[in-house]
């Protein structure tokens, strides 16, 4: 059923009719498939609610809000970001769920906030291993607590890290210092933890050990075991990253992989694992890293005094280790296996590739 644009947004469109029409015409010059009817529906369904809510918060800004959101949504619409692909779902949901939840921030900086949220949704959707829905849910939930654009941005990064973008770990940890605990509780599912000191303690644990989570207190190290904590990579033909079984090295303290074609940077922790292809096409330099965390050809992993045998890792092709994580590759697999010490009750858990 056709929806009509009403309220403040209708007035904005009427006032700038010629200008908005010209913008659409110009956009159609570079994208002949731009459908006017579909764009009107998009305006009514996604843009109007945001504009009307924000305009209610700052009626004198209605024209600026409407124009900014019209143009930014036209850019996204023309780029196919609201299309039918699964990636577009997150963008669609961001406009339907997050933006209406932050009308005050939209009113203060319509273009900046809409662009930041849209770009973040786009980036999360681009990362297959990320939990985009989890991010949406968290951002929607914290919307009511957000009164400052800087906090929104920091909270967005922390939530993105929590939902699988492991490469944001360092930035997110540092952003935690400037975000209210009430927001951090929502992001890290700690609503039940009433004591602020306990919340802070868990956040410190996150910083100290990449394989800890904020869900619970870390078990004492005596109760920890070695386990394959994450498997990532995979054959490109099946949607993975690598064209050949990769080798891993430690370069400047970071895991790097090489598959005979490109170098990849691996960021991984308890919340996710992300591979980023680098431009370099030459084999890796670097070294295997920590000598206290090793695997032998029989699949026996040693970390200090703790040992465990992993039969599936027999005859490893390469290995590299930090103090907390051992990365292993096999000659007959396109995957990278990450081993770490985790609480005994979590040992044996494997994250999907």
**What's the token pair of residue 226?**
């070695």
Q: How far is the CB of 141 from other proteins (least distance, A)?
A: 18
- CA angle, residues 195, 197, 202, in degrees to nearest 5: 100
Based on CB atoms, which residue is closest to other proteins, 30 or 84?
30
Instruction: Select 75 or 296, whichever has its Cβ closest to other proteins.
Output: 75
Min separation Cβ 171 and other proteins, Å: 3
240: phi > 0 → left, psi -120 to 50 → alpha, else beta; which?
beta
Q: Which is nearer to other proteins, 71 or 236 (CB)?
A: 71
CA 126 – CA 124 distance, rounded (Å): 5
| Contact in structure between 278 and 286 (CB atoms under 8 Å) | no
Smallest separation (angstroms) from other proteins to the CB of 175? 6
Distance of CA 100 to the CA centre of its chain: 21
As a whole number of angstroms, the distance between CA 149 and CA 114 comes to 11
Give residue 97's region: left, alpha or beta (phi > 0; psi -120 to 50).
alpha
In the complex with other proteins, the residue whose CB is nearer, 27 or 243, is 27
- What length does the chain have? 353
**Least CB distance from residue 94 to other proteins, whole Å?**
11
Binding site for other proteins (CB under 8 A): 16, 18-19, 22-23, 25-27, 29-30, 71-72, 74-76, 79, 81, 111-112, 114-116, 118-120, 122-123, 153-154, 156-157, 160, 165, 167-168, 171-172, 175, 251-252, 265, 267, 276, 278-280
Taking the complex as a whole, the smallest distance from the CB of residue 122 to other proteins amounts, in Å, to 4
3-state class (DSSP) for residue 168: helix
**Which of 19/350 has CB closer to other proteins?**
19
């Amino acid at each position: 059923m056709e929806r009509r644009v009403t309220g403040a947004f209708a007035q904005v469109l009427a006032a700038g009719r010629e200008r908005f029409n010209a913008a659409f015409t110009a956009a159609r010059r570079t994208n002949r498939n731009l459908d006017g009817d579909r764009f009107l529906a998009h305006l009514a369904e996604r843009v109007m609610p945001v504009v009307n809510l924000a305009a209610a918060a700052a009626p004198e800004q209605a024209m600026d809000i409407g124009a900014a959101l019209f143009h930014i949504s036209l850019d996204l619409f023309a780029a196919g970001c609201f299309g039918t692909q699964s990636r577009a779902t997150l963008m669609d949901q961001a406009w339907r769920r997050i933006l209406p939840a932050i009308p005050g921030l939209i009113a203060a900086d319509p273009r900046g906030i809409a662009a930041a949220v849209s770009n973040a949704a786009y980036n999360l959707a681009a990362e297959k291993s990320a939990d985009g829905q989890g991010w949406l849910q968290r951002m929607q939930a914290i919307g009511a607590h957000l009164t400052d654009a800087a906090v929104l941005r920091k909270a967005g990064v922390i939530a993105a890290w929590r939902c699988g973008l492991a490469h944001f770990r360092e930035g997110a940890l540092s952003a935690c210092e400037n975000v209210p605990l009430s927001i951090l509780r929502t992001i890290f599912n700690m609503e039940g933890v009433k004591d602020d000191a306990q919340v802070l303690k868990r956040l410190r644990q996150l910083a100290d050990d990449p394989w800890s989570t904020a869900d619970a207190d870390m078990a004492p190290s005596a109760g920890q075991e070695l386990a394959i904590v994450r498997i990532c990579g995979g054959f490109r033909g099946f949607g993975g990253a690598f064209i050949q079984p990769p080798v891993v090295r430690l370069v400047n303290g970071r895991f790097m992989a090489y598959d005979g074609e490109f170098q990849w940077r691996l960021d991984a922790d308890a919340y996710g694992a992300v591979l980023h292809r680098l431009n370099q096409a030459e084999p890796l330099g670097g070294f295997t890293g920590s000598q206290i965390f090793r695997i032998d050809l029989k699949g026996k992993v040693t970390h200090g005094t703790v040992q465990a045998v992993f039969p599936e890792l027999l005859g490893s092709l390469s290995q590299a280790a930090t103090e907390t994580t051992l990365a292993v590759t096999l000659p007959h697999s396109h995957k990278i296996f990450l081993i770490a010490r985790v609480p005994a009750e979590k040992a044996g858990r494997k994250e999907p590739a």
